[in-house]
């Protein structure tokens, strides 16, 4: 079990009336599939949040979980990244927090810190910082530190030229959405099997909205994927971009989207050279698998 930090002080809101009047209905949505015992700790930490919330578990397995939350059961074969999460549209809330079952809140201020981002009326998504679990390998540690740095940022359409595809980056492992906007655009694009979060953020950015990265909101989340799991994941990502080519078309107006992946692979090797050189062959092989799987049409 992970140690839980409770050292952070409760954040203050610049506009207390905004918080009191508008951000009292937070709906948490977590799709689950036969979670292990560690998920009990996730639920415990969510119950200790300083912001009132309701929890909805969307179960596509046979999970024997009890507690103060709502549970919806669906057939495993009907699970879909976008459509399943769009069940949130049936619930009226000021904010929706989408999480995965393996994301463990760092402390009791996760929701409070995410809520702060919505004091800016143009922010429609705020996502949390992900910290690697102690068992994460060096490759995964680099990915978490690179994709989820210590400094915050607010991303807008003006950032596309500088940040490229990362302008649209968020995470379905722990991200909060403005309820009114989410409902107005009918949630996630239907029938997406992956990247529903990036798709939503891309449409929002091009709609002149903002995406906030909030590093003070933290969760533990990492996974050491096998080569087979990595292949399957990047085949799905490649299929997404082939079907939703408008995103890469938009990025290509400013820069090549592929340069982001190449830069990450090179920087990963540099990191490993200094910290864990024995992982360099694995890093090269995994980068090759990602590239081939992403490009594979089969």
DSSP strand pairing (54-59 vs 26-32): parallel
Burial class (CB in 10 A: 0-12, 13-18, 19+), 174: buried
Above 50 in pLDDT, residue 13?
A: no
Greatest Cα pair distance, the chain, in angstroms, is 55
Same domain, 151 and 288: no
At residue 262 the predicted structure's pLDDT band, cuts being 50, 70 and 90, is confident
In whole numbers, what is the pLDDT of the chain averaged over residues? 89
Q: Which residues pair with 155 in a beta bridge?
A: 211
In angstroms, how far is CA 131 from the centroid of its own chain? 12
Same domain, 113 and 55: yes
Query: How confident is the model over 215-229, as a mean pLDDT?
Result: 95
Whether 231 is covered by a domain: the verdict is: yes
Same domain, 86 and 213: yes
**Do the beta carbons of residue 163 and residue 155 sit within 8 Å?**
yes
Phi, psi of 5 (to 5 degrees): -85, 135
More confident residue, 123 or 36: 123
Whether 8 is covered by a domain: the verdict is: no
DSSP code for 40: H
- The string of pLDDT tens digits covering residues 153-199 is 999 999 999 999 999 999 999 999 999 999 999 999 999 999 999 99
* CATH at 166: 3.90.550.10
Q: Tokens for 108, please give them.
A: 């009791």
Last residue of a domain, one of 165, 192, 220: 220
Q: Which residue intervals of the chain are DSSP H helices? A: 16-22, 38-47, 81-85, 110-116, 138-147, 160-163, 179-184, 196-206, 227-243, 246-251, 258-275, 280-295
Whether 179 is covered by a domain: the verdict is: yes
For 85-188, strand residue ranges (E) read 95-99, 104-105, 123-131, 153-155, 174-178
DSSP strand pairing (210-220 vs 123-131): parallel
Same domain, 212 and 238: no
Same domain, 53 and 172: yes
pTM attached to this predicted model: 0.91
C-alpha to C-alpha distance for 99 and 117, rounded to whole angstroms = 17
Range of the domain at 114: 18-220
Cβ neighbours around 112 below 10 Å, total:
21
Q: Tokens for 34, please give them.
A: 């036969």
The number of folded domains in the chain is 2
- The string of pLDDT tens digits covering residues 43-67 is 999 999 989 899 999 999 887 777 7
Last residue of a domain, one of 172, 200, 220: 220
Cβ neighbours around 151 below 10 Å, total:
6
Q: Tokens for 49, please give them.
A: 């949040």
C-alpha to C-alpha distance for 1 and 4, rounded to whole angstroms = 9
- The string of pLDDT tens digits covering residues 99-110 is 999 999 999 999
**Do the beta carbons of residue 29 and residue 99 sit within 8 Å?**
yes
Same domain, 151 and 261: no
Q: What pLDDT, on a 0 to 100 scale, did the predictor assign at position 12? A: 46
Checking phi first, is residue 174 left (phi over 0); if not, alpha (psi -120 to 50) or beta? beta
Q: Tokens for 139, please give them.
A: 């490759």
Whether 45 is covered by a domain: the verdict is: yes
């Amino acid at each position: 079990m992970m140690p839980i930090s409770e050292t952070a002080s409760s954040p203050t809101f610049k506009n207390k009336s905004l918080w009191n009047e508008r951000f009292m209905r937070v709906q948490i949505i977590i799709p689950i599939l036969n979670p292990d015992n560690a998920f009990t700790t996730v639920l415990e930490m969510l119950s200790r949040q300083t912001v009132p919330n309701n929890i909805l578990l969307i179960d596509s397995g046979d999970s024997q979980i009890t507690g103060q939350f709502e549970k919806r059961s669906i057939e495993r074969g009907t699970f879909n990244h976008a459509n399943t999460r769009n069940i949130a549209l049936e619930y009226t809330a000021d904010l929706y927090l989408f999480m995965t079952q393996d994301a463990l809140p760092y402390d009791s201020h996760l929701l409070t810190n995410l809520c702060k981002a919505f004091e800016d009326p143009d922010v429609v998504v705020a996502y949390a910082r992900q910290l690697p679990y102690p068992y994460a390998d060096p490759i995964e540690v680099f990915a978490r530190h690179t994709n989820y740095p210590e400094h915050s940022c607010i991303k807008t359409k003006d950032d596309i030229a500088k940040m490229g595809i990362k302008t649209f980056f968020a995470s379905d492992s722990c991200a909060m959405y403005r309820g009114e906007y989410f409902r107005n655009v009918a949630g996630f694009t239907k029938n997406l099997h992956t990247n529903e979060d990036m798709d939503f953020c891309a449409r929002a950015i091009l709609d002149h909205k903002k995406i906030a990265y909030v590093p003070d909101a933290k969760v533990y989340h990492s996974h050491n994927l096998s080569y087979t799991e990595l292949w399957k994941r990047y085949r799905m990502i490649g299929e997404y971009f082939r079907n939703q080519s408008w995103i890469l078309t938009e990025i290509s107006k400013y820069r090549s989207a592929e340069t982001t992946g190449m830069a990450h692979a090179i920087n990963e090797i540099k990191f490993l050279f200094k910290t864990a050189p024995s992982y360099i062959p694995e890093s090269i092989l995994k980068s090759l698998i990602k590239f081939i799987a992403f490009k594979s049409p089969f």
